Chain A
C-alpha cells in the first residue's frame, strides 16, 4: 500500500507500524520505551507523530492505506519535548551515556520546569532499584513477563505512585527472581542495576594500587566479556579486546590476570566425564548443564524434580575460585584469606552464586568480588585509562592457558559443543578430526540435534532464555534428550545481564561471531588437550570425578521454599 510521510510517497506492507516504515525509509522518529526485542506498548509517548490532525504513537499504530503522516510538525515536536520533560522531572541525575540523556539532547531540553518528588529505595539482592531514576518505561516488566516469563515484577500502585515492583513488595532476595539481570540490561536509565557486590572490597579493588596490606590480587575474566567490553569505549560490537582487557586489568593493579576459560575447560572435563558415566549407567538422563546460576536458582525454585538431572559440577567461576584458593595459594605461599579472587562476569547472578554459603573450599569465600562487564568499564573509566590506545598483553600462566572449547562457553550452544568434543574422545578413544559441531550452533530459542558417536545416537538440546526453558520443561520435551544445555539469558552469556547496554539481536549475533572466531584461531580446540589442565590433574586433582575433584569442583542443590509466605 502507499502512504505519505511528510509529503513523500512511501511504500508499506500491511500490518507494519508507522515506526517500522519510517525506520526503513530512514525517517527519524525518536523512541524511548520502544525496543526491537519487545512488544511496543506506547507508554512513554515520545514517538508521537501526527495523523489526521491527531497525535498517535508511531510504535504501536499500524499503517493504513493512504495514511498521511507528519513526523516533524511544530505540534509533534512540542508534544514530544513536553512528554520527555515530564518524564525527566522525576529523575535524580542523568549520566551522559544513558539513552535518555541522548534523547534529551536531541529534543533540546535544557531546563526542567518541575521539581522531583520520590525517595530512593534500595534492595539487598544482587539487583537494586533506584526509584529516583525510574521513568516507568515498562521495559523491565515486559522482559520479565514476555521474554524470561518469570513474572516477578509488575507495576504496583496507581497514578503518580506507580512503580515497578515485586508482588506485595517482597524483597527480591526472597522472591522467585533468578537474578538473570535482563531487566537491568534493558533499562534505559540505570534505574535497575547490579548491586556493588561487597562495597568495601570493590573500593579496595578500585584503589588497589594505593593500599595493599599484604593482599595478593588475582582476577579472572569470563569468556564472553572480551567480545563486549570494547562497546563501552565506543568500539564496534563484536570487537575482540582480549589483549587490551588484560593490559587494562594490569594497569588497575592486579598481580595476576587469569582467564575463566581455564575454569571452563576444567568444567567441561568434569561434566563430560559425568555425562559419559551417566550414559554408561543409563541413569539420570538427560544431563542438564549447571554453568548458569540463574538457571540453577530457577530450577531450585520452580522445578525441584529436575535437580537430580542437573550436573553436579560447579560453574567455571567457582571452579576457578576453588582451585585458586587451594592449589594456587599453596603454590605461591599466600594464605587463602589474603588471596583476593576477583572475577569479571557478564552476569549479575554470579554475584548471588559467589555469596552462597557452600562455596567455601578453604574456609573463606572462593570468589571474593564479582564485577560485571559494566562495572569493570566504569572502573577503567574512573582510572582514566585510555582503553582504545592500550597495547595488547597476554594472560599469566598457568591459568591463562585455555582451549577453544572454553572460549565458546559464553555463547548458546558453546557448552554443548565443547562437551561433545571431549565426550567424543572419551567414548571412542580416538582423536576428533573435525571439531566443529555446526548442528548445535544457531540462535533459535530451542534447538536440538542428533549427534552420532560410535554408533550411538546422542540427542542433544540447547535452550536459552528462561521463557524457552519454561516451555521446554513444561511441555515435557526434556525427557527425550541425553544432554540439555540451559542458559538463562537470550543468546547465552553474550546477552547476559551484566553486559554493556544496549542489547539487540544484531549486537548479540556480532558478539557470538567474535567468540567463534576466537575459537577457530586457537591452537588447542579440545579442553582435554590443554597442557595446563593435564598438569593440574597430574599434580593436584588426580583424575576427573576423583575424590579431590568431587570435593572441590562439585556441589549439591536443594529445593528452595519461598520464605515470605
Chain B
C-alpha cells in the first residue's frame, strides 16, 4: 500500500531550500484533493489562507458510520501524518497545529503523542507545536466549523458561512482544516513515485473480508465489492450514513468516482461502502440510519431536529404495517424539505439515504403500506 510507505522524514527534508510558495505550487501541481469527501484541491485551500496568526487543524474526527480509513493510517503509519502536518505548517507559516481526535479513538492518543515527541527535532526547526484535542463523541464535530467551536470550548454547532474558516476560523484567525488522509499523502508527493489516483476505501457490511483497501478511482463497483468477498448476493450499497445508497445489481459496472455517484442521487463522501445482502430490509435499514441522525442532530435548526424525529415516527409506523400511502408521501416530502432547508451540511445530508431508498426501492415501502 502506498499510504504505508515509511518516509522517515525524507519528504520533510526535501522542502528545505524551497520557499513556501514553491511548496504550495508543488502540492497544487500534484493534484491532491481533499480526501474527506469534499474533493476541494488542497493546494488551493492552502493558498487561500488569510492574513493573521494561522492555525492548522487535522480533522481526525472520523464519525461517519462505516468509515475507518483515518484510524487505519493513525494506527499503522502515524509518523507520515505528523510529517504531513509539518510540511503543511511550513507551507502556510503555521506555528500551532491541532489534531482533533475522535473521542472513541482516545487509545490512539498516546501513540500519536509518542510520535510527536520522537519527531521533536524536526518540529523545532519550523517552530511548530502540535496539540491533540479529544472530541466528546459528537458526529457533528466532523464538520469543519463545528470543530472550531469545539476546540474553543463551546457547544459544537456549525458556523454560518461565509466567512469561511480560511479567513475567520479558530479564535477568529485564519484556519486550515485538512483530513488525516489528505495530510498523510502530502509527504509522498515530495518523495516522488506518488500515484494520485490511489485512494483508501473502507468496506464493511455483509462481507467476509471487511477492511480498508487501496483502490484506484474509477474502478468498477463490482471489482471493489468483490475485494471484500460478499457473504451473499449484495442488494444495496450504502455510502456511509449520510451518503445515500444505490442498488447493486443495476449499477454493477459503474466506475466509482464522485461524479458518477452524485449523478445517481447518492454521495461518495469519504469512500465508505456498506454492503447489504439480499435478505436485508430497506425500511429497517432506513430506520436504523434515521435513529443515528436522531441521536446526532445538534438540535439547532427546526427541520433537522423535528423533521428527523417525524421521519422516524413515520418509518416506525410503516415498518409495523400501520402506514398509509399518504404517510409515505409525507415522508418523502419531509426528506426533501430537510435536505433543502437545514442549517448545516449534517442536516441537509441527513435524509439523502431516505431519498435514495425511496427512489430505488419504492415498492418495498409500498408493500408495507396499507
Contacts and interface: CB of A to CB of B under 8 A. Distances in A.
A41 B299 CA distance: 13
Given A79-B340, A83-B341, A45 B301 contact: yes
A161 B302 contact: no
A168 to B, nearest CB: 14
Interface stretch (B8-16, B124-132, B254-262, B305-313): B305-313
Nearest to A159: B297
B330 interface: yes
A82 interface: yes
Nearest to A75: B340
A55 B337 CA distance: 10
A44 B302 contact: yes
Interface in A125-184: 135-136, 138, 154-155, 157-162
Given A43-B343, A159-B308, A82 B333 contact: yes
A113 B330 contact: yes
Contacts of A493: none
A89 interface: yes
Nearest to A62: B162
A55 B308 CA distance: 19
A159 B296 contact: yes
A422 B183 CA distance: 72
Interface in B265-303: 293-303
A159 B302 contact: no
Interface in B318-370: 330, 333-334, 337, 340-343
A86 B302 contact: yes
A92 B309 CA distance: 18
Interface in A69-119: 79, 82-83, 86-87, 89-90, 113-114, 117
Given A42-B160, A87-B306, A114-B313, A159 B298 contact: yes
Contact of A60 (B160, B309, B342): B160
B299 A155 contact: yes
B306 A162 contact: no
A48 interface: yes
B228 to A, nearest CB: 32
Given A45-B343, A55-B340, A161 B299 contact: yes
A158 B302 contact: no
Given A79-B337, A83-B341, A160 B299 contact: yes
B155 interface: yes
B306 A89 contact: yes
A158 B291 CA distance: 13
Interface residues on B, range: 20 to 34
A413 B343 CA distance: 42
Nearest to B337: A82
Contacts of A113: 330
B7 interface: no
B344 to A, nearest CB: 10
B138 interface: yes
Contacts of A138: 300
B310 to A, nearest CB: 5
A90 B305 CA distance: 12
A55 B341 contact: yes
Given A42-B343, A82-B334, A83-B341, A157 B299 contact: yes
B155 to A, nearest CB: 6
Interface string A54-65: 110100101000
A337 to B, nearest CB: 49
B294 A42 contact: no
A159 B295 contact: yes
Contacts of A54: 340
Contacts of A87: 302, 306
A261 B332 CA distance: 62
A43 B297 contact: no
Contacts of B303: 45, 82-83, 86
A-B complex: 8 closest residue pairs judged by Cβ atoms = A162-B299, A86-B306, A159-B297, A160-B309, A55-B340, A45-B302, A83-B302, A45-B341
30 contacts: A41-B160, A42-B160, A45-B302, A45-B341, A46-B302, A48-B341, A79-B340, A83-B337, A83-B341, A113-B330, A114-B306, A114-B310, A117-B309, A136-B299, A138-B300, A155-B155, A155-B300, A157-B299, A158-B296, A158-B298, A159-B293, A159-B294, A159-B297, A159-B299, A159-B308, A159-B309, A160-B299, A162-B298, A162-B299, A162-B305
Interface of A: 41-46, 48, 54-55, 57, 60, 62, 79, 82-83, 86-87, 89-90, 113-114, 117, 135-136, 138, 154-155, 157-162
Given A42-B301, A159-B294, 11 more contacts: A46-B302, A82-B337, A86-B306, A86-B307, A114-B310, A136-B305, A155-B300, A158-B295, A158-B297, A159-B305, A159-B308
